[in-house]
Structure 1
Amino acid sequence: MAEMTLEQRIDRLESTEAIRQLAGKYSLSLDMRDLDAHVNLFAPDIRVGRERVGREHLKAWVDTTLRDQFTGTSHHLGQHIIEFIDADHAIGVVYSKNEHETGPEWVIMQMLYWDDYERIDGQWYFRRRLPCYWYATDLNKPPIGDMKMRWPGREPYEGTFHGLFPSWQKFWSQRPPEGELPQVAAPAPVDRFLQTMRGDTPAPKIRVR
Structure 2
Amino acid sequence: MKMSELEELRRRVERLESRAEISELISAYAIACDEHDIPRLGSLFTEDAVFDTPSKLMVANGRKGIVDMFIKVLGIRGPGYHWTHDHFIKVDAANPDRATGLVLSHAETSPNKRPSLAAMKYADNYRKVDGRWHFEKRVLSFLYYVPAAEYATALNGDLRLVTPTGERIKADYPESLACWQAFEKAKG
What TM-score bracket applies, with the shorter chain setting the length? 0.7 to 0.9
Q: 1:96 aligns with which of 94, 105, 109?
A: 105
Name the counterpart of 1:11.
14
Q: Does 1:146 align with 2:158?
A: yes
Preserved contact between residue 72 and residue 102 of structure 1 (Cα < 8 Å) = no
Q: Does 1:44 align with 2:47?
A: yes
Task: Tell me: higher relative CO, structure 1 or 2? Use CA pairs within 8 A at least 6 residues apart.
Answer: 2
Gaps of 5+ in 1: 177-209
Distance (Å, rounded) in 1 between the aligned partners of 2:133 and 2:141: 22
Preserved contact between residue 51 and residue 138 of structure 2 (Cα < 8 Å) = no
Q: Does 1:81 align with 2:93?
A: no
29-38 vs 143-152, greater mean Cα deviation? 143-152
Query: Residue 161 of structure 1: CA displacement?
Result: 2.7
Q: Secondary structure at the match of 1:30?
A: helix
Preserved contact between residue 77 and residue 96 of structure 1 (Cα < 8 Å) = yes
AA matched with 2:73: T
Distance (Å, rounded) in 2 between the aligned partners of 1:54 and 1:155: 28
Q: Does 1:56 align with 2:64?
A: yes
Q: Hey, which of these two has a bigger chunk of helix by percent?
A: 2
Q: Secondary structure at the match of 2:29?
A: helix
AA matched with 1:34: D
Name the counterpart of 2:74.
66
Name the counterpart of 2:55.
none
Query: Residue 98 of structure 1: CA displacement?
Result: 0.5
92-101 vs 138-147, greater mean Cα deviation? 138-147
Distance (Å, rounded) in 2 between the aligned partners of 1:65 and 1:164: 25
The normalised TM-score by structure 1 is: 0.74
Q: Secondary structure at the match of 1:5?
A: helix
AA matched with 1:58: I
Q: Hey, which of these two has a bigger chunk of strand by percent?
A: 2
The normalised TM-score by structure 2 is: 0.81
Q: Secondary structure at the match of 1:70?
A: coil
Query: Residue 121 of structure 1: CA displacement?
Result: 2.4
Gaps of 5+ in 2: 53-59
Q: Given the superposition, is the C-alpha separation of residues 146 and 152 from structure 1 closer, same or farther in structure 2, using an over 3 Å criterion?
A: same
Query: Residue 154 of structure 1: CA displacement?
Result: 2.3
Preserved contact between residue 45 and residue 63 of structure 2 (Cα < 8 Å) = yes
